[in-house]
Each structure stands twice: as C-alpha cells, then as structure tokens.
Amino acid sequence: MVDALRVIRDDGSTDPRLDPKFSEDEAIAMYRGMSLQRILDNRMLALQRQGRIGFYGPSLGQEAAIVGAAMAMGPEDWIVPQYREPGAALVRGMPLKELLCQLMGNAEDPVKGHQMPCHYVYRKGNYLSISSPVGTQLPHAVGIGWAMKLRGEKKAVLVFFGDGATSTGDFHAAMNFAGVFRTPTVFLCNNNQWAISVPVAKQTAAATLAEKANAYGFDGIRVDGMDALAVYRATRDAARNAREGLGPMMVEAVTYRIGPHSSSDDPSRYRDEAEVAAWQARDPLLRFRRYLEHAGWWDDAREARLEQEIGDEITRAVQEAERIPPPAVETIFADVYAEMPPHLREEMDAFLALPRR
Amino acid sequence: MPAMTMVQAINNALREEMRRDDRVVVLGEDVGRNGGVFRCTEGLLDEFPERVFDTPLAEGGIIGTAIGMALYGLRPVPEIQFMDFIYPGFDQIVSEAAKMRYRSGGQFTVPMTIRTPFGGGIRGGHYHSQSTEAYFCHTPGLKVVVPSTPKEAKGLLTSSIRDPDPVLFLEPKKLYRSSREEVPEGEITVPLGQAAVRRPGKDVTLIAYGYMAQVCIDAATKAAEKGVEAEVIDLRTLVPLDEPTILASVKKTGRAVVVYEAPRTGGYGAEISAILAEKAIEYLRGPIVRVTGFDTPFPYTLEDVYLPNADRVLSAIDKVMAF
C-alpha cells in the first residue's frame, strides 16, 4: 500500500514516532472491542441464516477502522455512524442485549421495531440514529460540530462513511460547509474498496479519497485501515485539533470488506476470491495480536479465554433477547411527533377497534 | 401597535424569538448581509452576528447541517430561498428530519423550522411560483404551516420555532407585501393545528390556505352581493389538520368548495375532499368541488389565468348552489 500511515509493523513492533503508547489495559481493551465485533458478526450472520434475525450487515475486515476510530473519541464527543459500526456503538457503552433487541425488533428494542436490523442508536453514548440512504449523515455531523462551536464547547464529532458515500451530493455539501465554517468534524472514510458490487475505481477517478479534502480547504490523511493503532492515532490527533478550533479533517482508512455487503448479498457474483484472500492475509485482528504478543501482553491461553468470554456474553444476550415478545401494535403509532396529533390517534383507535381475526 | 407587512411581521417574529432564545439560529442563502431576497431576515445579522449565517449555495447542505444543529439542541431556522429550490434538500427533509424521532424511538429529535416562500403571484415563472406542499404533507413526522395574514405569520412562526418537531413554514409570496396589519410587539403565538373561520356563512363552505384564503374572502364578498353566504375557512396548518372546524362548517352549510393553487391532481385539497366525502357525505347537498391550478407546470405570461381567482371560485359556488 502506498502512502498510508502505519504504526504496527509486520513483526508486531511499532513505529516509535507514531505509537500512541498504550498501557496493557488500553491495548487489550482495543483488542477486545475488535474481537467482540468480529465474533458478533459471525454469530449474527449465523443467526440470520437460521431465520432468527431478519437481516445483518457484517463489518468483517473493518474492525480496526471502526473500533480504532471510535476509541479515539472522548466521552463528550459525538459519533455519527453509517451502518456498519456496531463495534463503535459497543465502544460507546451500548449494552449487548439492547443491540440484540434492536436486531430482533422486539418489545425492548429502543426504537420499538421501527427500523430494520443494524440501524442502531444510542443516545447515552452520543451515538446518532442511522438511516439506510448513503451519505445523508455527513451534513448532520457538520451541523452538530457547528452547534458545538457556536456554544463554545471544546468537543468534536466523528462521522463514519464509506467510499461509495464520497460520490454523493451530501458528501460534497458536508465537506464544503465543514471547510467554510471550520466545524470540529472528523470525516472517517472507511474505504473498504466496494460499494456493494461497485469497486472504488468506479466511484472516482481521483487517486485517493483523502485528497478530496484539499479541495475543501482542509487536510486529508490516508491511513492503513487494517492497523488499529494507525487509525486511532490519526483520528485522535484530528479530534484533538478539531476541539482546539483548527477545523475539520478527513481520515481515509484503507481497508477491505471481507464479508458480503449484507446478508442479502453474494459477493462471488462480482469479485475475485484471490483478492479477498490477499486482504484476509492482512487481517486487522492478527495484526493487533502480533503487537500484543510483541509487547508480551498476550498468549494462546488469553486468546482462548477472551473468545470464550465474548462467546458466552453473546449467547446470554441472544437468549435474553429471544425471550422478549414483539412490540405491541400501538407502537406503530408512537414517536411520529412529540404529541400524537388527532388524525393519527383516530387511525390508531379505528385500527384497534377492528375485530381481531 | 405598528402596521406591518407579512415580511416585516416575519422579521419581527424571528428577531423577537432570537432575543428570547439563544438557541435560535438563522441560516441560508443571502439571509445575512443581504437580509434575504425578500428581506425577511433584514437586520438580523447586525443584531445577532454569531447566529445568522450566509451559507454556501446548497439546499441539501443547509437543511442537513440545520438538522445536525437541531439534533444537538439548537433551534435552527433555515431559509430556502424559493420552494422551487427545495428539492436538493428534499431527501434531508423527508428521509432524515421527518423520520428522526420515529427511527430513534424518541432519542433524537429535530426541532427545526424551514422557512420558504411559495406560491404564485410575483411573475416568477415556474421556478419561483410553485406550490408543492402536497409532497410534504404526505410525509409523516413533518408539520406544514401556511400563514395568510401578517399578524398570524408572526404568531404561527413563533409557535413553529418552539415546536418540538420539524416544521415546513410556507410563506405565500403574493401576500408578502400586499397589505398591512396591526401586529403587536412582543410575544404572540397562534397554535399549530387550528384552522380559522375568516368569514361566517350558512350556504357554502370555502376551504383554502395561503393566498387562496384571500381569494376566497374576495369571492365570499362577491357571493354575498348575490345573496349567498359563504363561510371561509383558512386552514393555517395543513399537517396536522384541524378536521373538526372543517367538518362542523360543512355539516352546517351542506356544500363545500376546496381551493388550492397547486396542480389539481393529488393536491392537498384532494385530501380535504376525501375527508369530507368520508365523514360528512350525508350532510352534503351537492358535490365537493375543487378550484385549483391546472395540471401543467406553472406558466409565466399567463400566471393570472393559471391562478384561481374570485371569479373561478364564484363559478364553483354557483355550481354547488344549483343542487
């Protein structure tokens, strides 16, 4: 890979100029976050195939680019997700059971089954609600940052998006507004090479996505998206600068979507297995494990224990969530407006008065 | 009490609400130094240099960033220069702002008021004249408000800014400077979701909003000369609709004429007609008649022919009175 920031070397040692100098606990917390997302993805894809959840969008291969970025943000900062970042929601404190309830759309789903699976939201962690259209979240992240700035608060916003989103009008508008108003927004592009079946070379003729930032009057940096420390370092510095009033920055994390776009997608229709295998060899978890081992913080026994622990946590959450019934029919009518207007109440009452067949 | 045009009343409402609430922020194209192309935001930049923004020319960016501000707790009032220019921001309005509360289970909300001039009457051709409220009334989660007098423009705009949900505030350009009205200084509000009976009558109900409410008052005045007493209802809020006021009037008069300047097919008045047919048909003595713009793009030269006027409304009154 050309011109991308790397911190973890192949042998597990780190570039001393860029190493964020984690403690053992910090390093293991990051590894745990990535492992949780990996194991969750595999388990949820299996649940989807068994018909126990309706849909799933995995993040396989992007764990470093998601968890590494999310962990770089402070608790007062905001995260504006795309839709492939459950690992970031969990970093922000979303309980696993709540996430499972969202995937199942049951009565304890915080959004009452209003959205399809993977459209998480977690207000307590300043983690915004997700919509399916690509790129629409980008201007929101600029507006949130703008509001922080207007209030004189030293906070920053991290917004996730993919390579496909850089083609949208919302990307242009958001980057342009961020540049003009110098908002504290960190644009984290997960360039995973594929927008469903369309490769990044067909999204843009530009050599890199990061260089687009230059046209909006701020910096873009390209980092190795399979290297959690590189993503962390770039995001942390960008957020720090943003909080200090130095304006927005774009980070292009060069990564790869190893799995399908979603449980409804079959990537063998459009891409080469050899390409997937080449990226798999650069697995971000293996890379991070080498770093942990190099530091003397990890071994097979710890790995086995972590896998067991995460597996059990997920099993418990699945079991608890599956016991919860679907939402009551009245919830269809909830949360349209702050107060239910008369016409909606009338529709609800008329429906509820129908004989049940 | 000063006599104000609707433009002045809107300006007054914005200024007073910005003084009362430092969360209120104004943004849009030419709204700062220039005070807006219709001057609705004139002088606001001078008084609130930190809260009035001339933005880049991108409606999706204006609405999208205003949504972000609202999510964070501000009360943004973005202006879209003409309703005809709103479509680059349409996705942000209907897919993001309107659905945020529902899709987040109430965890995130968008208290934002989008102001935009709409409707014909200023010789603007089809890109400065359309009334496309029906697209937005079809979107749950959004409120749609249309004032027709200066005083009520102030009261309705103040209520909209304070509303916890996103509001599309449609300003009838034809009425911007057509008359003056005494508008009180200081706080006045008009609740959303309440229609107004502009003129009482017993023979036929005329239902309209915006400039067409004025047209209906003119038509009712002329009808009275022929001995027909028309009741004029100005909806003021399209969503949520004040059904009781409409139904009470039509049950009393037994006749209804619905007037809107948008193209006929699928217009908001069609919804009004459907409600009357569903809920008041046994009171009707004749058909519900619509007087509307034509199913064409908005024409330039023949604008006055396109727009419903008092004579066309009178013809419709004659038609329903014949039953």
Calpha distance A220→A166 (Å, rounded): 13
- To the question of pTM greater than 0.90 for the whole model, the response is yes
Answer left, alpha or beta for residue A224, where phi above 0 means left and psi between -120 and 50 means alpha.
beta
Which domains are delineated in chain A? 24-326 (3.40.50.970), 332-357 (no CATH)
Domain chopping of chain B, boundaries:
3-182, 196-321
From A81's Cα to the closest Cα of chain B, the distance in A is: 13
pLDDT, tens digit, for every residue of A155-212?
A: 999 999 999 999 999 999 999 999 999 999 999 999 999 999 999 999 999 999 999 9
pLDDT of A14: 98
Q: Do A337 and B101 touch (CB under 8 A)?
A: yes
Tokens of A120: 């998480």
Mean pLDDT for the stretch of residues B283-291? 98
Residue B240 has pLDDT above 60, yes or no: yes
pLDDT of A356: 79
Interface check for A335 against chain B (CB to CB < 8 A): the answer is yes
| Class of domain B3-182 (CATH, top level) | alpha beta
Nearest residue to B246 (alpha-carbon basis) of B233, B259, B255:
B233
* Residue ranges in chain A whose pLDDT is less than 70: 1-2, 357
Question: How high is the ipTM of this complex?
Answer: 0.97
pLDDT, tens digit, for every residue of B8-29?
A: 999 999 999 999 999 999 999 9
3-state secondary structure of A8: strand
Q: What is the overall mean pLDDT for chain B?
A: 98
| Class of domain B196-321 (CATH, top level) | alpha beta
The yes-or-no answer on residue B138 being catalytic is no
Say which of A78, A335, A341 has its CB closest to residue B101: A335
In degrees, rounded to 5, the angle at the alpha carbon of residue B132 between the alpha carbons of residues B130 and B137 is 160
Q: State phi, psi for B60 to the nearest 5 degrees.
A: -65, -35
pLDDT of A241: 98
From A192's Cα to the closest Cα of chain B, the distance in A is: 25
Instruction: Please tell me whether the peptide bond between A327 and the residue prior to it is cis, using omega within 30 degrees of 0.
Output: no
| Minimal-distance CA residue of chain B relative to A108 | B105
Indicate which of B52, B54, B62, B104 best probes the interface with A, i.e. most A CBs within 10 Å of its own CB. B104
Q: What are the strands, taking DSSP E only, across chain A?
A: 78-80, 157-162, 185-191, 194-195, 198-199, 220-224, 249-254
Say which of A128, A136, A181 has its CB closest to residue B71: A128
Is B196-321 the same fold as B3-182? Answer: yes
Query: Are the beta carbons of B140 and A159 closer than 8 angstroms?
Result: no
Calpha distance A329→A333 (Å, rounded): 8
From A340's Cα to the closest Cα of chain B, the distance in A is: 10
Q: What's at A20, amino acid-wise? A: P
Q: At what angle do helices A24-49 and A300-322 cross, to 10 degrees?
A: 50
Interface check for B105 against chain A (CB to CB < 8 A): the answer is yes
Calpha distance A273→A100 (Å, rounded): 31
Calpha distance B109→B174 (Å, rounded): 33
Q: Do B103 and A169 touch (CB under 8 A)?
A: no
Q: What are the strands, taking DSSP E only, across chain B?
A: 3-4, 24-28, 52-54, 75-79, 113-118, 143-145, 167-172, 181-182, 196-199, 204-208, 230-234, 237-239, 256-263, 289-293
Q: What percent of chain B has pLDDT over 90?
A: 99
Q: Do B240 and A342 touch (CB under 8 A)?
A: yes
DSSP codes joined into one string, B58-126: -HHHHHHHHHHHHHHT-EEEEE-S-GGG-GGGHHIIIIIITTHHHHTTTSS----EEEEEESS-SS--G
